[in-house]
Amino acid sequence: MNINELRSSFISGKLDLRKFYSELIETIESKKDLNIFISFNKDDIFRQIENIEKKNNNNSHGALFGIPVTLKDNISYDKLKMTCGSKMLENFEPIFNATVVDKLIKEDAIIIGKVNMDEFAMGSSSETSYFGPTKNPIDNTLIPGGSSSGSAASVAAEMALISLGSDSGGSVRQPASYCNIYGYMPSYGTISRYGVASMANTLDQVGILSNCVEDIVTTTNIIGGYDNKDMNSTLNEKVNFQINEDYNFKGKKIGVIDLDKFEIEETVKEDYELAVSKIKSLGAEIIELDFKYLKYSTSVYSVVMSSEVSSNMSRFDGIRYGYLTDEYETTDDLYINTRSEGFGEETQRRIAMGTLFLAAENNQKLYKQGQKVRKLMSDEFNTQFEKVDIILTPTTTNLPYELGSRVEDPLSVYDSGTFNVPVNLCGLCCISIPVRKGISGSIQFIGKRYEDEEILNAAYYYERSNN
């Protein structure tokens, strides 16, 4: 069922809200071993049901009336703690709602709980979470992807129709791909980040994970648009994306890339080729594009991202909020021990890298170099978009791997984001779409900045043609 169908069933009385949620809670509890939720409170779910019932006794049901939603645990909801997947914030209770959460509640959505993630959104597998990894609901020996791991898993395991995640370098699209669902990251500045913990400010975006494109469009129209509390809110209006039932690929120019220039697993390659030929058969003109800078994307990302991470993480010092060590005599000890005990290994690694990249001694050489190549990449994308309407790449370079198998190899994990990170670096929009059912490769439609409606329509059309 999609949002409109489920909402209508509640309103018509065909489905009983309380019965539906009692069953949903049973499903969630029976799948506890997937380790999807960090915070989950039944009483809060029934409190929300009571609220929307009271509010709607005059028949003015919100657009998300009764729809189950999960939130990545870096999005603030004042009824549940917000850990960001870290020991640093294990007991942190936020005192306000993120703008996106207020907007969901206003439309009568039900917040099911806060879901697992890589620590402070750094990771690709959920294995950097202080609360242990989430398992992939399709095959629980595999990673679900990350960092919005619980978001993807909760939708794939049918615990929520939609989940909000965050994407700074693929964290919505990559887990969506690994869990065989849809994951959308809007153009930079489209959805408010107020109340979402920052990882790397020039890259972070709130994104939406769902089982269908239509629900992504419905949700974006509700949570997107201008927010005067977010200085990066670049739209001065509401979002009102329309699905055009007549949209098709005739006359569309779709840019593709030569996968032989990249290291990619065979199945991912085959699925990409499958999608390209499908899109071609639907009437699109396929245009091969040559990218000079794409192969540097993960290196540029590492430099820019860790520099921003090191500055964002400096607020966690044990003094204002969050974890505080028991072991200190001097102020130096307090900082060092708090941060060494409170942050996991991956977060510490990135803080160390970022501090090096920003160091004054070498005149911030690498950071400046990274920003220069970032500009070249962005110019290159703009030039390509003069030739095509949409750029098509695989979402990831590999399929989900066995839990635990790459913990010792962070560099290979970084490389899997080759096609994800440039979209963030250049502020573009993107949606990841499954090609086949089950564990398989996915594709990304990448669009020009603010041309989200184009890629969403293309995704909707592809989804219908492919099913």
171 is catalytic: yes
Minimum distance, C-beta of residue 403 to ligand GLN, in the bound complex (Å): 16
Residue 147 sits in the site that holds ligand GLN (CB under 6 A) = yes
Whether residue 223 contacts residue 207, with contact meaning beta carbons closer than 8 Å, is answered with no
Alpha helices in 83-203 (DSSP H): 99-106, 149-156, 173-178
Residue 167 sits in the site that holds ligand GLN (CB under 6 A) = yes
Question: Could you tell me how many residues make up the chain?
Answer: 467
Query: Tokens in use for 419?
Result: 């096609």
Taking phi over 0 as left and psi of -120 to 50 as alpha, with beta for the rest, 113 belongs to: left
Q: In the 8-state DSSP scheme, what is residue 142?
A: B
Residue 456 sits in the site that holds ligand GLN (CB under 6 A) = no
Longest CA span, the chain: 71
Contacts for 426 with CB less than 8 Å, ≥ 6 apart: 374, 377, 378, 381, 449
Residue 308 sits in the site that holds ligand GLN (CB under 6 A) = no
Whether residue 139 contacts residue 46, with contact meaning beta carbons closer than 8 Å, is answered with no
Amino acid (one-letter) located at 261: K
Residue 122 sits in the site that holds ligand GLN (CB under 6 A) = yes
Residue 344 sits in the site that holds ligand GLN (CB under 6 A) = no
Nearest residue (beta carbon) to ligand GLN: 171
If the CB atoms of residues 68 and 123 are measured against ligand GLN, the closer one turns out to be: 123
Query: Considering only residues 5-24, where is the footprint of ligand GLN by CB under 6 A?
Result: none
Element (H, E) at 298: helix 297-312
Active-site residue, from 86, 124, 129, 147: 147
187 is catalytic: no
CA-to-CA distance for 78 and 240, rounded, in angstroms? Answer: 28
147 is catalytic: yes
Contacts for 266 with CB less than 8 Å, ≥ 6 apart: none
**Angle at 146 (CA atoms; ends 196, 411), nearest 5 degrees:** 115
Residue in 76, 99, 149, 171 binding ligand GLN, rule: CB under 6 A: 171
If the CB atoms of residues 394 and 417 are measured against ligand GLN, the closer one turns out to be: 417
Minimum distance, C-beta of residue 206 to ligand GLN, in the bound complex (Å): 11
Q: Pick the piece of the chain touching ligand GLN (CB under 6 A) from 121-129, 223-231, 254-262, 276-284.
A: 121-129
If the CB atoms of residues 219 and 312 are measured against ligand GLN, the closer one turns out to be: 312
Q: Pick the piece of the chain touching ligand GLN (CB under 6 A) from 62-70, 166-174, 276-284, 353-361.
A: 166-174
Residue in 100, 105, 109, 121 binding ligand GLN, rule: CB under 6 A: 121
Residue 170 sits in the site that holds ligand GLN (CB under 6 A) = yes
Residue 168 sits in the site that holds ligand GLN (CB under 6 A) = yes
Q: Pick the piece of the chain touching ligand GLN (CB under 6 A) from 164-172, 279-287, 353-361, 390-398.
A: 164-172
Residue 133 sits in the site that holds ligand GLN (CB under 6 A) = no
Alpha helices in 179-285 (DSSP H): 213-223, 266-281
Residue 354 sits in the site that holds ligand GLN (CB under 6 A) = no
Minimum distance, C-beta of residue 130 to ligand GLN, in the bound complex (Å): 16
CA-to-CA distance for 424 and 206, rounded, in angstroms? Answer: 12
Alpha helices in 64-138 (DSSP H): 99-106
Residues forming the site for ligand GLN (CB under 6 A)? 121-124, 147, 166-171, 199, 305, 417
Enzyme catalytic residues: 72, 147, 171
